[in-house]
Amino acid sequence: MISITCDVCKKKLDNPVNNERDLFYYSNFSVCEGCKDNLESVMKTQIRGKEPFSYEWYGKLVQDSFGKACQKGKS
C-alpha cells in the first residue's frame, strides 16, 4: 500500500493510485483535491485579469502559489 502526503495540508493519502481523483501533481508538488480546488480558486482571479495570457507567466504563478501554500501549510 502506498501512502503519499499532501505538500500543502500535510494530510496523508492512503493508496492514491487506485483513487484517481485524490491526488494531483503540479510540477513538483503533490496536492490533495481540497487544496487543489482552493488554490485554483485563488489563482482564478489573477488569471482572468491577465492580458495577454502567456504560459510562461502561468507556470510562474503556479510555482509561486503552490510554493507559498506549502510554506504556510494551508491552501
Indicate the pTM of the whole model: 0.72
Q: How far apart, in whole angstroms, are the C-alpha atoms of residue 10 and residue 30?
A: 10
Residue 56 pLDDT class (50, 70, 90 cuts) = very high
Q: How far apart, in whole angstroms, are the C-alpha atoms of residue 9 and residue 15?
A: 17
Domain tally, the chain: 1
User: How does pLDDT run across 25-51, given as a tens digit for each residue?
Assistant: 777 888 888 888 888 898 898 888 888
- Average per-residue pLDDT for the chain: 82
Which single residue is written with the C-alpha cell 507559498? 68
What residues make up the domain containing 68? Answer: 3-72
